[in-house]
Chains A and B, each alone.
Chain A
Amino acid sequence: MLEAIGARSIDELFASIPEALRLKQPLDLPGPLSEAELIQYFRERATENSLGYTSFLGAGIYNHLRSVVTDTILLRGEFLTSYTPYQAEISQGTLQAIFEFQTLIAELTGQDVANASMWDGSTATTEAVLMAERLTRRRRVLVARSVHPEYRQVLATYARNIDLQIDEIGFTSSGQIDLEALGASIHNEIGAVLVQSPNFFGVLEPVPRIAQIARGAEALTIVAIAEGVSLGAVQPPAEADIVALETQSFGIAPSFGGPYAGVIATREKYVRQMPGRLAGQTVDAQGRRGFCLTLATREQHIRRERATSNICTNQALCALAATVHLCLLGKQGLREMAEQNIAKAQFALAELEKLPGVRRLFEGPVFNEFVVQFPRSVRMINAQLLRDKIIGPLPLGANYPKLTKCGLVCVTETTRREHIERLADAVRETLAVPV
């Protein structure tokens, strides 16, 4: 090939890099490893993690049942190794799947339309706020303190440099947003109100009332949802103007924080300010139904500095996982899964409340997560639980200084009754030992 090119050596092909900038020695990298060695290396890393432990962590990442069928589809090279479907004629598989994803998400969230995916729930939430800012041309946002702390941190990072003011609204003893404080804080310079439901404490927010208050000041209501399975049994936020959903719960592994897929759903009239890719239905010259990416004039590759967002690569394969998973579960399966989560949470709550000095902190309705107050530090309790190979509740004190001795407990359909009983037993034993 060098001969065909007319080059004497491979180095000649790099002659355009000034000599002084070229590496003179090989890189100092580990490897090369063969396939077997690679697998061995990563298996060893896996053993240095939490294999064999039972976990009660949720807080935005949920361990749900996943069918092997989903992975079977994801591993098809035609999906796995294809690019963004800009060339519609040979990307109809991806495009139709995106169109189905958009439909499923719109149906789940009670919204008119949804996009093809965002990076995750936290960035989808941030983009939803930026979208509301464009729609209302107002630069102030009210954010419930019961929104996931990391979601709020991401929003703060984005807001800092673009003159977007964020004020937080506290929560009441129900664990829900303080509606009185919200009513007192809202005015006609506020562009949007952001809540999460179920919120970070696992408590469902009264979305219709929040939306009513926002509407009074012509502000938009944004609802973030980190636990998608809740939508199988919980009223969708149809009153919201924008919904930012994390779809990790739909067939996507926890995987130490990602990759997942966020998605934005909204009302039809707001679609032109929506960020991210969209697949639309159309026809070819012979009138055959087909799908293509559409409304691209919102996007960075066309509009550059005037785009609605800088997002390019999204989370398409994770969105496909969610699509396949939701189709497998279907109407009944999703409902059953959601009901099992509610039942497990009720059972776990009852078991823990039997323990001396342990109480449910918030009285608001919960899905599969709840806050429990213990008679002593959660960190101390957790250190003991680890001896029983239990990863205990998430301590809340770091993010909510007033919630010391409080922990967030998550159970799903994958949490067996015996796990919950073991947790209760272990906590009882821990509390029986004097500090």
Chain B
Amino acid sequence: MADKIKKAARHTSQNEGLIFEKSAPGKRGFELPPADVPAVDVRAALGSDYARADIEGFPEVSEIEVIRHFTRLSTWNYAIDLGMYPLGSCTMKYNPRVNEHIARLEGLATEHPYQPQLLAQGCLKILFTLQKCLLEITGMDAATLQPAAGAQGELTGLLLIRAYLESQGNPRKKVLVPDSAHGTNPATAVIAGYEVENIRSDARGQIDVEQLRKIVNEDVAALMVTNPSTLGIFEQRIAEVSEILHARGAQLYMDGANMNALAGVAQPGRFGVDVMHLNLHKTFSTPHGGGGPGAGPVLVKKHLEPFLPVPVLVEKNGQLSLEPVRPQSIGRVRAFGGNFGVLVRALAYTLAYGPGIRQATEDAVLNANYIRKNLEGVFDLPYASPSMHEVVFSDNRQKKQGVNTMDIAKRLIDYGFHPYTTAFPLIVPGAMMIEPTESESKEECNLFIDAMRSIAEEAATQPDLVKTAPHSTRVGRLDEVAAARKPVLRWKPKASSESAG
């Protein structure tokens, strides 16, 4: 079986304890220049009530120890830089290195949002240009770049809807969320002060329009729809959905998490979408960084513009400025205007492609369909509707052999790939959600397909091999139940942990 694993081989990785376990008194990894003003006694300067003693347990290590520590840890990670990362709905595409260089430029990384706006025109121009690009890509009318991530974009969008409906006389009570939606959608609706009503998908994996027609009434503030859905399927009746909502005074929110299927091909502004967010750490290639940072710009139609968060970026006579007061604004959602460094990278990505961004979309959809075609018949495809940028299989067949989606995902690790998304969307039991993105070559896609086929064969012939995978990692499957039952969330110095019991 080992010869079927083409992409990965075992290699030695270094053991490494916690940084705290390497600490020894007196070591340090960074020297400050000597002070050029008279030293002060902290107790005298602050008062003894405010002065702190040593920080117990804080590490003391040398520079090379820090470098080795984190370099060793890094080698225990999988990454896009090591190969295909087919996590569905996460859009793990290549993160161009030039964008890292740009975001660190002196004059950009060094700037403070409170400096005079005349001395920040470069930063504001970057934001303004990015806004214009995102409006063109989405076909919307106005934007805010403030939200720190997709979930905050969702919140901002719902607050905009709420403020708009309030201005019409009634904020309404409910937000409709399809059963295929990301968990952030219902969680966000609650924070925006709404009740959540889940709606079912139809047999094609799309919104059940007839059911929707019955549900939408004067209590419904909005429907949150991801398009393409988390099944990777385009909501074909989106325009009709929009009409149903609008006829009853409700709004259409689009979760733009899957914009990688649409950029350059179709503009949500033409679907009847009132407000949407983008995940710049997905479609616009800003690095995921092990979980963040991201950015979640929100784009709206004209009628929602007066409610955008302050400050609002405006251009007057060739000068850009941030307007701090807008009477109908929902307020501020984050201090200091947003994750600027992420926005810089997103603009660099957009400028690198220009109108050619369509090519990226086409390649992403091509790769997903190529994988679908080659794995159809090997894995169960619960929805036959055409796939866009991602494809969702299920473990239906393999389950009969006692092997589930998580087992297959873990076995993929041995083949040198990161797992696909498991157990999501919730409407597909045993989901296997695969999104290759445009970054992968045909060769890498073929390696992945071979790996998946080989695992399917193993599931039939040696199910235990799959069920106990991964076999090539530093640690095997971890006891997550124990981790949650008796949480150990930090290291503690020996003496104090013993005395604490």
Contact = CB atoms under 8 A, between A and B. Distances in A.
Given A1-B370, A104-B58, A160-B331, A300 B187 contact: yes
Contact of A204 (B46, B121, B480, B484): B46
A283 B264 CA distance: 47
Contacts of B270: 21
B401 interface: no
A257 B37 contact: no
Interface stretch (A5-13, A184-192, A210-218): A5-13
B122 A45 contact: yes
A320 B107 CA distance: 23
Contact of B151 (A79, A257, A300, A420): A300
Given A204-B46, A312-B151, A83 B290 contact: yes
Contacts of A235: 49-52
A179 interface: no
A259 B342 contact: yes
B32 A336 contact: yes
B475 A288 contact: yes
Contacts of A361: none
A284 to B, nearest CB: 4
Contacts of B474: 89, 92, 288, 290
B37 A344 contact: yes
A293 B138 CA distance: 35
A398 B325 CA distance: 12
B29 to A, nearest CB: 4
Interface string A149-188: 0110110111011110000000000000000000000000
Contacts of A429: none
Contact of A83 (B46, B92, B338): B92
A388 to B, nearest CB: 14
B100 to A, nearest CB: 6
A229 B106 CA distance: 23
B45 A46 contact: no
Contacts of A277: 291
Contacts of B104: 71, 253
Contacts of A236: 52
A21 B98 contact: no
Interface stretch (B82-90, B244-252, B298-306, B455-463): B82-90
A128 to B, nearest CB: 14
A294 B483 contact: yes
A32 B187 contact: no
Contacts of B266: 14, 17, 21-23
Given A83-B90, A312-B151, A391 B79 contact: no
Nearest to B470: A89
A314 interface: yes
Contact of B18 (A84, A88, A99): A99
Contacts of B465: none
Contacts of B129: 30
Contacts of B6: none
Contact of A89 (B19, B60, B342, B477): B477
B487 A278 contact: yes
B226 to A, nearest CB: 14
Contacts of A39: 98, 101-102
A310 B335 contact: no
A229 B46 CA distance: 15
A259 B108 CA distance: 12
B223 interface: no
Contact of B98 (A38, A63, A123, A158): A38
A194 to B, nearest CB: 15
9 contacts: A13-B388, A17-B266, A32-B351, A53-B119, A153-B332, A254-B112, A259-B342, A310-B188, A327-B69
Given A16-B388, A90-B78, A310-B151, 16 more contacts: A16-B234, A49-B115, A69-B29, A89-B477, A91-B78, A93-B72, A119-B149, A120-B335, A150-B332, A153-B331, A154-B335, A158-B191, A280-B487, A312-B150, A337-B32, A382-B116
Q: Considering the complex of A and B, which 9 residue pairs feature the smallest CB-CB distances, nearest first?
A: A46-B107, A31-B354, A317-B289, A77-B81, A257-B336, A48-B122, A316-B291, A161-B193, A259-B293
